[in-house]
Structure 1
Amino acid sequence: MSPDHSLDLFLRHRKALINYARPIVGDDARAEDVVQDAWLRYVRFAEKQAFILNPSSLLYRIVRNIAIDARRRQSREVNGAGAEMVLETTAEGSAGPETATVHKDELRQVMTALKELPERTQRAFHLHRLDNLTYSQIAAELGISQGLAHSLVAAAMVHCMKRLNQKQDMEK
């Protein structure tokens, strides 16, 4: 695909891509950064390929992957002990006594936040984060598309992170 065609694709889908990334990363500025990075990655990939079957689908997949990576980095940097760390530490059983107490409280907050979500979203989150199923396995288990499985897990993670952030803001 020529650089001109890549740019046309990017410009046609830019706003929708930002809207797609926003719920994952949390705001417009980060979503724009993700989309810009995705386009650059797409161009590098497209230069090496003679033909891309579904360019827009590939671009959306790249945006999703970069957005998820960005959200994970952000949750580790900003929250230190955010929902992901709580779940990972709890699953590993590696926390010390003080850390375990903090994580237990945060895990309770995450569990409460999850109960606020629709049952299907809760189930997708549980299958991915606790049962370590892939998005395609979750899709098969729930009878949904792989993209929807990803969206449900991402929505649950964003919701839990917002609840943890609200709690932390109230304690300050």
Structure 2
Amino acid sequence: MPTPRQSDTLFRLLMAHRRRLVRYARTIVGDDHRAEDVVQDAFLRLDGAVEAGPNGAAAVSKPVPYLYLVVRNLAVDARRRMTREERRTAPEDGHFAMLAGDHPTPEATVIARDDLRRLEAALAELPERTRVALKLHRVDGLRLVDIAAELGVSVGTAHRLVSDALDHCRHRLRRS
């Protein structure tokens, strides 16, 4: 465990470079909140490397470059996850996009209502916890970490629940 002096030094280091690190992460992830999360995760990794003692000493001998490297790696990973998620959840046939216009055609309205009815049926087939996880993620806009805390599960389990729900709904919409 880092000594109080080490923790204080690390905290001051983070505060001195935080804005630049967040700005750097934001250029990669494109979002202020995710950039903040990336910087926080990088700081925790630095803290963990210090805690590791002699094994982490090489990485921590130059903590600022280490932080920038970790921020870059975490931001790239976050961007990849975001891109995969966007690809996985984008409507494939554009039915939902038809409603974006000011005056959808009657055909587009009928198709969208039918899609909505099939989606509601698919959601009703899901287990309660999976349905709640999807609602928290897609409707309430919670992050997986927050969903995990809300449901009392790990972040990996929260991700699996949301992913399973999306896969199920996608499969049901294609099948119908």
Question: Please, what TM-score do these two structures have when normalized by structure 2?
Answer: 0.48
Between structure 1 and structure 2, the one with the greater Rg is 2
Question: Please, what TM-score do these two structures have when normalized by structure 1?
Answer: 0.49
